[in-house]
Structure 1
Amino acid sequence: MPTIKSSYQGNLRTRAEHLQSGEQIITDAPVDNNGKGEAFSPTDLVAGALGSCMVTIMGIIAEREGLHLEGLAWEITKVMQANPRKIQEIIVDMNWEKPIKDDKLLQKLKNAAKTCPVALSLHPDIKQTVNFNF
């Protein structure tokens, strides 16, 4: 059974619907690639998926350990390469105001982030830089 149903809207825009929830995402080509840049680009979604996946898996581990990650925030920087045009690097800066004093738990969370399904699915040529600021 399909997970996502998508359609081309014209003018370098697509619409995707998550069939289980009905939620929709629109993408536009970025300005530097003939688009309007009015929505996430497909490569923005890849970069965003990496951060979301990392934090989701960290959340699973944290909750098992009795830690709640509410308030954890992150910023994504996507670096593109030309010829061929592709993602060169994704930088994830995680910020949390609550320091984790348990070094073993902190290492578990870092390992969980770096081995999330999206991180493991990306081509090894895409550099993944993760900064844990907590």
Structure 2
Amino acid sequence: MEATVKAVIKQENYYTEISAGNHTIIADEPLDLGGKDKGFNPMELLASALSACTLATLKMYMDRKNWTAEKIIVEIHLDNIRETKTTNINRSISFKNHNLTDEQLKRLHQIAEACPVHKALTGEININTKIDL
């Protein structure tokens, strides 16, 4: 799976427009960091990617198996500790109004850990940067 994203910042402190295809989202920094809190901060965007991927992966699998839940909820708590260069991510998944067995829930736990963003975050990551003039 590939993704191409373009982000642009102009003169307003930290207000960033991020586009992919026909879609645009806003990122910003909170007030205490000099932003105007008009959008998700970068760590919230990272956590959002993991939650969205987890949900889509679970839903696709459940649909194939004809397993149902009225609602699937993923909550992510991401703690980026700059001093130790450590990031801790806690993911909580709940299924509302379901009749899933313990065995099915155990399988869904495995499926959640197989979502592409989870794999990317827990695998080797290479970031290659170039400056264009």
State the TM-score, normalized to the length of structure 2: 0.74
> In 2, distance between residues paired with 1:64 and 1:13?
41
**Where does 1:42-57 land on structure 2 (aligned, <5 Å)?**
42-57=42-57
Shift of 1:97: 2.4
SS in structure 1 opposite 2:48? Answer: helix
Residue identity over aligned pairs, in percent, reads 26
Tell me the residue number matched to 1:79. 79
CA, structure 1 residues 115+33, in 2 after alignment: closer, same or farther (shift >3 Å)? farther
> In 2, distance between residues paired with 1:101 and 1:37?
40
| Consecutive unaligned residues in structure 2, runs of 5 or more | 124-133
1:6 maps to 2:3? no
Contact 2:67 2:100 in 1 (8 A): no
> In 2, distance between residues paired with 1:2 and 1:95?
28
RMSD of Structure 2 on Structure 1 (CA) = 2.5
Greater RCO (CA < 8 Å, at least 6 residues apart): 1
CA, structure 1 residues 52+2, in 2 after alignment: closer, same or farther (shift >3 Å)? closer
- Rg comparison, structure with higher value: 2
Tell me the residue number matched to 1:109. 108
Tell me the residue number matched to 1:121. 120
CA, structure 1 residues 88+100, in 2 after alignment: closer, same or farther (shift >3 Å)? farther
SS in structure 2 opposite 1:54? Answer: helix
SS in structure 1 opposite 2:67? Answer: coil
> In 2, distance between residues paired with 1:41 and 1:68?
33
Tell me the residue number matched to 1:64. 64
1:91 maps to 2:79? no
| Consecutive unaligned residues in structure 1, runs of 5 or more | 125-134
The CA deviation string for residues 77-106 of structure 1, in whole angstroms up to 9 with x for no partner, is 22121236x662222222222244433322
State the TM-score, normalized to the length of structure 1: 0.74
